[in-house]
């Protein structure tokens, strides 16, 4: 009999074989073929990389015309184990030509960087990422796309917070400005009147729960942080208010950088990408560089590819099917897909009120893909999904 075994169960199967425990890390290194894509390598360099990978027992995919340099540059897909990549680094160490030192640096950074195991708020509250965390949505607005999330007074907001905490929320996300497709922003003073009292009330009633504030305005962020908020969740990726980055840096607050194409008013007017994953990844690189150069702590950045923000149905599905690629940034990853339009379309054009089951399916997918935070309207149901997925995942770690 011959059977393929799951990678997650390799250690358990090695124990059954009776292998020496000291050998486990060695075999685990050999067991994973890691696919890495390097963009825009000049063709002679791409050919060198391919030959070196072949010599190490791995391989590399290059453009069909790179071998005779009929194209100036080629993307390269590396196919190797961690051990083979470590050997490639040694081979490239002395290769001071064809841009190979830049490739070496990128590969070295990828292999050595680790995702932070937690973020810490200005007030000392920690969110750890040993499992997928649940962020409950509290919209102190009259016009958010899902009516069930609207809380139009403090009493409703406090009750929602209480229910979410009781049902297993790890974070509460408070928003006072609807960013649904086609929406016009309310004024800054109106957003402040909605958000800050809600943050103060929830913080007073529930001193330990981490609070995120969904805003792109610097003044709202500052007053919310002063009121006890912990995280700034910015749909604009620091694009809509030039002063927001200064506030985040000053307070050393965790920051969610989300990808958006356009503005909420126009983002869903025929959004187009030549390569949606690559373009979001390039956006993340540029926005993270800007944030860090402006004083934001790199270990405090959380990435959100922005489901539904300037993406059509196919774009959203591709993002969800390729979550592993966004994890290559070694940053905590947040997904907010709860009850969104693409779920309704996949289920036959259902309205937001009938998209719970589809949302739960996406939550399970995210948890299995190692997403760090899922942002949802329905905490109890999503908590149960996460608990089941975590129980199954733990079997492979036991």
pLDDT of residue 48: 93
Report pLDDT for 270: 82
Q: State residue 152's pLDDT score.
A: 76
**Does the residue 19 lie in any domain?**
no
Clarify whether residues 106 and 250 are in a common domain: no
- 9 pLDDT higher than 80: no
Same domain, 123 and 141: yes
**Boundaries of domain holding 53:** 32-112
**In the predicted model, is pLDDT for residue 398 greater than 60?**
no
- Least-confidence region, from 232-236, 309-313, 394-398: 394-398
Look at residue 362 and tell me if it is in a domain.
yes
Q: Same domain for 125 and 173?
A: yes
In this structure, the answer to whether residues 65 and 147 fall within a common structural domain is no
Same domain, 94 and 190: no
Q: Can you list the pairs that 388-393 forms with residues at least 24 positions away whose Cβ atoms lie under 8 Å?
A: 388/364, 389/132, 389/364, 390/131, 390/132, 393/8, 393/367, 393/368
Which residues are bridge partners to 34 per DSSP?
80
**pLDDT of 16 over the 80 cut:** no
234 in a structural domain: yes
- Same domain for 325 and 369? yes
Percent of the chain with pLDDT over 70: 94
- Distance, in Å, from the CA atom of 276 to the CA atom of 284, rounded to the nearest integer, reads 12
Residue 175: beta bridge partners?
139, 214
Burial class of residue 70 in the structure, from the number of CB atoms within 10 Å of its CB (0-12 exposed, 13-18 middle, 19+ buried):
exposed
Indicate the average pLDDT of the chain.
Answer: 90
Same domain for 64 and 184, yes or no, is no
Instruction: Give yes or no for a contact between 320 and 307, defined as CB atoms under 8 angstroms apart.
Output: yes
- Whether the per-residue pLDDT at 47 is higher than 90: the answer is yes
Question: Within this chain, do residues 189 and 259 fall inside the same structural domain, yes or no?
Answer: yes
Question: Is the confidence at residue 2, as pLDDT, over 70?
Answer: no
Q: Which of 59, 84, 112 is the last residue of a domain?
A: 112
**Looking at the predicted structure, is the pLDDT value of residue 10 above 80?**
no
Q: How far, in Å, CA of 199 to CA of 233, rounded?
A: 14
Tell me if residue 35 falls in helix, strand or coil: strand
pLDDT at 8 over 70: no
pLDDT of residue 97: 87
Q: Which residues contact 243 (CB under 8 A, 6 or more apart)?
A: 218, 219
345 in any annotated domain? yes
- Write the CB contacts of 319 (distance below 8 Å, at least 6 apart in sequence): 276, 277, 280, 305, 307, 311, 326
Residues 304/256, Cβ–Cβ less than 8 Å: yes
- Predicted confidence band of residue 148 (pLDDT cuts 50, 70, 90): low
On whether residue 6 sits in a domain, the answer given is no
What is each CA distance from 265 to 184, 309, 312, in whole angstroms? 6, 10, 15
> What integer pLDDT is reported at residue 266 of this predicted model?
72
- The mean per-residue pLDDT over the stretch 254-273 comes to 88
> 340-376 burial by CB neighbour count: b if 16+ within 10 A, else e?
bbbbbbbeeebebeebbebbbebbbbbbebebbbbbb
Question: Distance between CA 257 and CA 266 in Å, rounded?
Answer: 20
Q: By the 8 A CB rule, do 137 and 376 touch?
A: yes
pLDDT-derived band at 283, boundaries 50, 70, 90: very high
Go through the chain and tell me how many residues it has.
398
**Poorest-pLDDT segment among 15-29, 90-104, 327-341:** 15-29
- Catalytic one among 217, 287, 340, 355? 340
Least confidently predicted of 39-43, 46-50, 174-178, 263-267: 263-267
- Is residue 130 assigned to a domain? yes
pTM of the predicted structure, to 2 decimals: 0.90
197 with 219, same domain?
Answer: yes
Note the pLDDT tens digit of each residue in 50-92.
999 999 998 888 888 888 888 888 888 888 988 999 999 999 9
> Is 340 annotated in the active site?
yes
- In this predicted structure, the answer to whether residue 334 has a pLDDT above a threshold of 60 is yes
Domain harbouring 131, CATH code: 3.20.20.20
Distance CA 290, CA 286 (A): 6
Here the CATH number for the domain that contains residue 83 is: 3.30.1370
Q: What is the predicted pLDDT for the residue at 393?
A: 84
H/E segment holding residue 55: helix 43-55
Within a domain: 102: yes
Q: Both 224 and 90 in a single domain?
A: no
Residue 1: per-residue pLDDT: 52
What is residue 164's predicted lDDT score, i.e. its pLDDT?
A: 97
Percent of the chain surpassing pLDDT 90: 65
Asked which of 4-18, 57-71, 196-210, 290-304 is least confident by mean pLDDT, the reply is 4-18
In the predicted structure, residue 93 carries a pLDDT above the cut 70: yes
Task: Report whether 245 contacts 295 (CB < 8 A).
Answer: yes
Q: Which of 217, 222, 261, 375 is catalytic?
A: 375
225 and 364 assigned to the same domain: yes
Question: Is the residue at 38 inside a domain?
Answer: yes
**Residue 32 gets which letter from DSSP?**
P
Name the domain count of the chain.
Answer: 2
Average pLDDT score over residue span 233-257 = 96
Domain closes at, from 112, 133, 153: 112
Give 321-331 pLDDT, tens digit per residue: 999 889 989 99
Residues 274 and 356 in one domain: yes
């Amino acid at each position: 009999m011959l059977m393929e075994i799951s990678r997650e169960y390799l250690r358990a199967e090695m124990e059954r074989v009776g292998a020496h425990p000291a050998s486990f890390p060695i075999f685990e290194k050999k067991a994973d073929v890691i696919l890495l894509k390097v963009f825009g390598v000049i063709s002679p360099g791409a050919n060198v990389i391919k030959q070196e990978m072949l010599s190490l027992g791995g391989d590399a995919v290059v453009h069909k015309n790179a071998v005779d340099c009929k194209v100036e540059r080629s993307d390269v897909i590396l196919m190797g184990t961690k051990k083979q990549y470590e050997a490639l680094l040694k081979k490239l160490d002395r290769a001071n030509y064809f841009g190979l030192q830049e490739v070496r640096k990128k590969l070295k950074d990828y292999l050595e960087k680790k995702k932070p195991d937690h973020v810490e708020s200005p007030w000392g509250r920690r969110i750890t990422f040993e499992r997928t965390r649940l962020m409950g949505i509290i919209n102190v607005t009259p016009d958010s796309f899902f009516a069930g999330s609207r809380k139009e007074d403090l009493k409703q907001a406090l009750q929602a917070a209480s229910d979410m905490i009781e049902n297993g929320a790890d974070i509460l996300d408070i928003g006072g400005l609807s960013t649904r497709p086609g929406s016009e922003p309310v004024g800054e003073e109106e957003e402040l009147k909605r958000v800050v009292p809600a943050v103060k009330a929830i913080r007073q009633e529930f001193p330990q729960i981490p609070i995120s504030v969904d805003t792109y305005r610097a003044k709202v962020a500052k007053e919310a942080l002063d009121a006890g908020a912990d995280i700034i969740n910015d749909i604009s990726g620091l694009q809509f208010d030039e002063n927001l980055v200064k506030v985040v840096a000053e307070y050393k607050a965790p920051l969610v950088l989300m990808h958006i194409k356009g503005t909420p008013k126009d983002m869903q007017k025929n959004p187009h990408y030549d390569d949606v994953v690559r373009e979001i990844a390039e956006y993340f690189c540029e926005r993270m560089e800007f944030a860090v150069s402006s004083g934001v702590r790199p270990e405090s950045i959380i990435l959100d590819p922005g489901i539904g923000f300037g993406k059509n149905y196919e774009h959203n599905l591709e993002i969800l099917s390729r979550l592993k690629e966004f994890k290559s940034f070694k940053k905590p990853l947040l997904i907010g897909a709860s009850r969104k339009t693409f779920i309704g379309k996949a289920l036959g054009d259902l309205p937001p009120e009938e998209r719970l089951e589809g949302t739960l399916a996406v939550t399970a997918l995210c948890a299995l893909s190692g997403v760090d935070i899922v942002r949802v309207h329905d905490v109890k149901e999503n908590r149960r999904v996460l608990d089941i997925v975590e129980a199954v995942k733990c079997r492979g770690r036991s």
